[in-house]
Amino acid sequence: VNVSKRLQTIVDYINVQTIADIACDHAYISIAALQSGAARRSVACDINAFSIEKAKKNILACGLSGSIETRLANGIRGLLPSEVDTVIIAGVGGRLICEILEYDIEKTKSFNRFIIQPQRDAQLTRRCLHRAGFLICDEDMVFDGGIYYPVIIAERGNEPPYTDIQYTFGKIPLENKHLVLKDHISLKLRQLKDINIPELNEKIELYEEALRWLS
């Protein structure tokens, strides 16, 4: 399959034997990972039966039924502990990602690595990863179809808590002076200033501080 820049960025972080593709929908992440050799086996899970049907059809069409298994399941409930090396949760909101990670912390901790791409509320995800006993070992941001998407890589382990600004924007992209993050913050700042209401001043200050980190 030909995947979007967002999905390709996620696939580029995969380099293991087994993955789980949680909230797989079309299963394009699993398919692209198998086709590129980034993984050898995938368990693709979704809560929606229609999505699972769609996934099965795509997997069959790509001749990958032998290496991608589909499961109708909520979050990681369909996985056994330690069943896969890396768990990917992409294209869903940060709140749902936290629910999925915190539903069974022991099971969550049985996986070595998570690749997480929240559609919104990324800061909740970063906080929740720390609470669950994971450290954020890498982070990227991709601009695709007019939207900015963070991609967060986490491994089991502990690290000191982030500051508020680091939870909001990601410590690693701030430290790396990530150009895509800088674009994103500059755009947000212009939009916030255009609205011009006092309630937004605190938010504007936070964005301005982040921009100082990035310049």
Residues that bind ligand SAM (CB under 6 A): 7, 22-25, 29, 45-48, 51, 74-75, 90-92, 96
DSSP type of residue 128: H
Whole-Å CA distances, 56 to 22, 40, 127, 193: 14, 17, 34, 47
**Residues 134-166, buried b or exposed e (16+ Cβ, 10 A)?**
bebeebbbbbeeeebbbbbbbeeeeeeebeebb
Among 143, 157, 147, 12, CA closest to 88: 12
CB 29 within 8 A of CB 51: no
In angstroms, give the least distance from the CB of 202 to ligand SAM: 31
Give the nearer residue to ligand SAM in terms of CB position, either 91 or 173.
91
Give the nearer residue to ligand SAM in terms of CB position, either 76 or 136.
76
Residue whose Cβ sits closest to ligand SAM: 91
In angstroms, give the least distance from the CB of 55 to ligand SAM: 9
In angstroms, give the least distance from the CB of 147 to ligand SAM: 12
In angstroms, give the least distance from the CB of 24 to ligand SAM: 6
41-46 and 68-72: which strand pairing?
parallel
In angstroms, give the least distance from the CB of 77 to ligand SAM: 8
Max CA distance (Å), the chain:
58
Helix axes 28-36, 5-12, angle to 10 degrees: 50
Among 30, 31, 11, CA closest to 20: 30
Give the nearer residue to ligand SAM in terms of CB position, either 92 or 98.
92
In angstroms, give the least distance from the CB of 67 to ligand SAM: 18
Collapsed DSSP state (helix, strand, coil) of residue 38: coil
